[in-house]
Amino acid sequence: MQILDGLLISQHIKDALKLQVAQLVTEGKKVPHLAAVLVGNNGASETYVNAKVKACAETGFKSTLIRLEDTISENRLLNVIGELNTDIDVDGILVQLPLPKHISDEKVINAIDISKDVDGFHPISIGKMVQGISTFVPATPHGIMLLLEHYKIDTRGMHAVVVGRSNIVGRPISILLSSNTNPGNCTVTICHSQTKNLRELCLQADLIVAALGKPEFLTGDMVKENAIIIDVGITRVPDASKKSGFALKGDVKFSEVAPKCSYITPVPGGVGPMTIAALMKNTFKACIDKN
């Protein structure tokens, strides 16, 4: 069993971006600028956004963090997006999800200028991705593909089972894994809460992406020998022994699954840091494409 080390590979990606940013500076060009919008004070969202802002600082990107009260109206949030759209210094806009219930994710995502849609959530970005046209690919699926690519895992012809059908991870990774690319070229099954024979399907899988958000859902008896396991879950589970008061748990029961598989991503240190690296790559692309 080999660990797919997202922490290490994301560092390689950020190091490479840092050199490219230094080159832009040498040429007197502008550096990439990410604007992150955080509504409310959800603890996990704060952690993710702070990690994204920190990654910007590490790689020489400019970043702006816009914090808004969770009582903000949808219209005021749409106005903030409108201002970021027209700000010529801003290359990428990220609105951290989830948003408060009174705000429509769809309206907010649709309001982002597609040339700045570094999360790749806009329907036009998704449509392009489906058709294999160059675009911003959502950061988590993009990061997973970069990780498979880095470890030179030949997924051609594999049966991939994706557990979870969210717009952010499950659906886009199913498209990417089935695309005529390398990695890619998988035969993909998407499972969800209504799937009847989930265990049987997982047992057939050469590659499983667990992205349903249920801690330790995927157990050893659901995985065939030598499968590749990508764990997207990262849930805060109360743990009095930790200073923070919680432990981070993936969707995979690591102690049971790891001994059976060929490759596995750990939690933390697997998909999470790769998501950030992919976001940085998207923001760099937004900056370069503009010039």
Residue 164: DSSP 8-state = -
Q: Give the strand pairing for 246-249 and 235-238.
A: antiparallel
**221 HSE (CA, 13 A, CB side):** 1
Q: Tell me if residue 260 is catalytic.
A: no
CB of 159 to ligand GUN, least distance (A): 26
Residues that bind ligand GUN (CB under 6 A): 94-97, 119, 139-140, 168, 275
Per the residue annotation, which of 5, 62, 91, 96 is the catalytic one?
96
Least distance (Å) between residue 121 CB and ligand GUN: 7
Measured from the CB atom, the residue of 139 and 209 that comes closer to ligand GUN is 139
Judged by beta carbon, residue 139 or residue 286, the one nearer ligand GUN is 139
Q: Please count the CA atoms within 13 angstroms of the CA of 4 that sit on its side-chain side.
A: 28
Q: Which is nearer to ligand GUN, 91 or 261 (CB)?
A: 91
Alpha helices in 33-185 (DSSP H): 43-59, 74-86, 105-111, 123-130, 139-150, 170-178
Per the annotation, the verdict on 206 as an active-site residue is no
Give the tokens for residue 207. Answer: 């590659």
Q: How far is the CB of 41 from ligand GUN (least distance, A)?
A: 15
| Residue with the CB atom nearest ligand GUN in the bound state | 97
Question: Is the Cβ of residue 119 or residue 216 nearer to ligand GUN in the bound state?
Answer: 119
Q: How far, in Å, CA of 236 to CA of 116, rounded?
A: 31
Q: Is 52 a catalytic residue?
A: yes
CB of 233 to ligand GUN, least distance (A): 12
The answer for residues whose C-beta is within 8 angstroms of residue 27's C-beta and 6 or more apart is: none
H or E stretch including 251?
Answer: none
State the catalytic residue, choosing from 91, 119, 231, 251.
Answer: 119
Which residues have a catalytic role annotated?
A: 52, 96, 119
